[in-house]
């Protein structure tokens, strides 16, 4: 990431949007560098004031994208920009509508997350860091064709009380308070997916109990409040 701040715009100014375009492109390229995406797979977006979002274009490799290629999408599906938005724009739009805390959304076909998603497995509490994503499991959304309202509906259902989920036979989705936070969560989630995948090669993992996970979740809440104080 470069020095441009990834926070939401505060007044919808041209300067704010220009900075976010650069930061969104930086994020898309960072997803590739972190091996979350290859080629034109995956997409990212950031919330703008007034209900709009800025989203990566469809079918253009990150290395060929320019800041001006990022598309502005309104909630009604109208867009501003020379290139078509990602085919998953509905998914991003509906996450913003359903979760006010979402400032940025990342969707990736990361190798280990996708391997688990192709088994349609939720990730159980094999490690306490599962709580980083909002609960004692990370769910796997039911399968639906890419770019459809059905996929959007399945994703928002799987994200209830969570900030990450798998998409059956597809990949992963995470959201964060801004682009920097969402990228960090996506990398951390893929790392957990790899750890779970490797654990399964050894045998059935010993899972943390509900009481143990409840304690971890409470500690995460306490640390979150302490950081905001």
- Backbone angles phi and psi of 75, in degrees to 5: -60, -25
Q: Domain ranges for the chain, please list them.
A: 14-228
For 176, the 3-state DSSP assignment is: strand
Determine the pLDDT at residue 226: 61
For residue 27, the model assigns a pLDDT of 97
The closest of 166, 157, 168 to 113, measured between CA atoms, is: 166
SS3 142: coil
User: Who's near 116: CB < 8 A, 6+ residues apart?
Assistant: 123, 140, 166, 193, 196, 197
Q: What is the model's pLDDT at position 67?
A: 94
CATH of domain 14-228: 3.40.225.10
pLDDT at site 13: 53
pLDDT given at position 14: 57
Beta-carbon count within 10 A of 203 CB: 7
Between 89-98 and 149-158, two packed helices, what is the crossing angle to 10 degrees? Answer: 40
Instruction: Tell me the mean pLDDT per 10 residues along the chain, length 229.
Output: 36 70 96 92 93 93 92 89 90 97 97 98 97 97 97 98 98 97 98 98 96 94 69
pLDDT number for residue 184: 97
Q: What is the pTM of this model?
A: 0.89
Cα separation of 86 and 43, whole Å? 7
Which residues are known catalytic residues?
Answer: 88
pLDDT value, residue 118: 98
């Amino acid at each position: 990431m470069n020095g441009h701040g990834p926070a939401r715009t505060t007044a919808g100014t041209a300067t704010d949007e220009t900075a976010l375009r650069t930061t969104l492109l930086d994020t898309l390229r960072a997803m590739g560098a972190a091996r979350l995406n290859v080629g034109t797979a995956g997409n990212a977006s950031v919330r703008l004031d007034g209900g709009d979002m800025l989203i990566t274009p469809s079918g253009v490799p990150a290395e060929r994208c320019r800041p001006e290629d990022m598309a502005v999408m309104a909630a009604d599906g109208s867009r501003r920009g020379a290139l078509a938005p990602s085919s998953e724009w509905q998914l991003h739009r509906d996450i913003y509508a359903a979760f006010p805390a979402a400032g940025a959304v990342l969707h990736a076909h990361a190798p280990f997350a996708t391997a688990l998603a192709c088994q349609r497995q939720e990730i159980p509490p094999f490690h306490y860091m599962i709580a980083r994503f909002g609960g004692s499991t990370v769910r796997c959304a039911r399968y639906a064709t890419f770019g459809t309202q059905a996929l959007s509906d399945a994703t928002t259902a799987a994200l209830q009380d969570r900030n990450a989920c798998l998409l059956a036979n597809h990949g992963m989705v995470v959201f964060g308070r801004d682009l920097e936070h969402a990228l960090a969560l996506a990398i951390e989630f893929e790392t957990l997916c790899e750890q779970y995948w490797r654990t399964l090669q050894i045998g059935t993992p010993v899972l943390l109990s509900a009481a143990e996970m409840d304690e971890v979740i409470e500690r995460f809440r306490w640390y979150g409040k302490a950081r905001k104080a």
